[in-house]
Structure 1
Amino acid sequence: MIQLSLIGIGTGNPDHVTAQAAQAMAAADLILVPLKGEEKADLAGLRHQIIARCVTGAQTRVQGFDLPVRDPATPDYLQRVNDWHDAIALAWEAAIRAHLDQGGGPRVALLIWGDPSLYDSSLRITERLARQMPLTLTVIPGITAIQALCAAHAIPLNDLGGPVHLTTGRRLREGGWPAGADTVVVMLDAGGAFTALDPAGISIWWGAYLGMAEELRIAGPLAECAPRILATRAKARQQHGWIMDIYLMRRVTGAA
């Protein structure tokens, strides 16, 4: 019986790792680290730094595995993502079985950026894995990108008594400002979905690489900030080869 732990590790700052997360890492027999290609090698490097800080025992094996990529030839978005999740589950299974074949113990962990519950597919992938091998699951919560964004800008997530709508860049482009929402948090934006909105009366708080040394922040009226965010984002992506960003928008009167 595999004892799988999904461990939230925050947004890149080793100080985001909770004591519970550190204990779960130290107790693992195997920690799997996804490898996403040379451009994103520093993401694996950050995971290794966190592991080295939390794990001192020699009994824990740290194993990298090549993360499958989405097939761009599949036209339907949901089908493309589901096929990708199937492939990742197979990669997890292969790595775990290889570990067991070498006499490794049953306690397996994966480190999840942010929190496993929020716009992360590790729980859905675990459901697929559970069909292939018996396992028990433990989830260790982590600091989310939303928490890191609000802390970086020193703002509350919601207005007094107001609702908050969480969505993706793709859905914002397709549907516009969500009906009834005062505050909208956008994740997984490939870049600039806010340009699909009429910026009048909207302020934005944007952040990238939150919690990391490379952290970037821009805030103010959307009409003024949109060009700056697009330019800053493009430059940072070119410099690092990847970018993780998130933003909060609020309908307000006047400048932020």
Structure 2
Amino acid sequence: MEYEVVIGLEVHVQLATESKIFCSCSTDFESKPNTNICPVCCGYPGVLPVLNRRAVELAVRTALALNCKINKRVYFERKNYFYPDLPKNYQISQYELPLAHDGYIVLPSLKRIGIERAHLEEDAGKLVHKGNYSLVDLNRTGIPLLEIVSRPDIRSADEAFDYLNYLKLTIQYIGASSCDMEKGYLRCDANISVRRKGGDILGTKVELKNMNSFRGVRDALLYEAKRQIKCLDEGKKIYQET
């Protein structure tokens, strides 16, 4: 039986602002640990976030470069997490009314990849593991991120590689971010499933995370596609997992 791969990508881009998205703290997260923090980005009771105008400008510029439609009215919501590096126990993000939606990228192959949405959110802190201890650095907490979510239009690991390269070049060209993956300025999660070729029903998706290069994304997608096809050929069930 012939199969086809269905891939969607979620890309988080750290925007090139001098201050954080909801406070005036510096975005230099490589400073001495826990020096660029304040009651706002640490989520103290009674503080009120104020949106960074520059972050919105860079996000809109990126969305327009990706042929997105801009929503004139947006709002933010709390996304609950319980992680040691997220002091508020929630992330301020967008869901119902994101900044932008319905865009697309045209690859060098002339294939069109849809952009489902692009929304603003804040980054979490950083955990440093040393021996039996985990140290928390909150300098990165509150740095503005633009999350760009593709539609599941990608059909191979090579297409995903081309999409990421084109996206990175576009963002760098318009000056919205340096996209330095070694420093975490651009991070990518991938959702992949396999279905019978020509079918309309999507298979069970698996999410791949913590990939620190485009080649790493491509290799992980190739491996996962082969694994899922092998499972289907052997009559085994594919479980939704990360």
More helix by share: 1
- Same fold per superposition (TM over 0.5): no
More strand by share: 2
TM, length-normalised to structure 1:
0.23
TM, length-normalised to structure 2:
0.24
Q: Which has the higher contact order (CA 8 A, sep 6+)?
A: 2
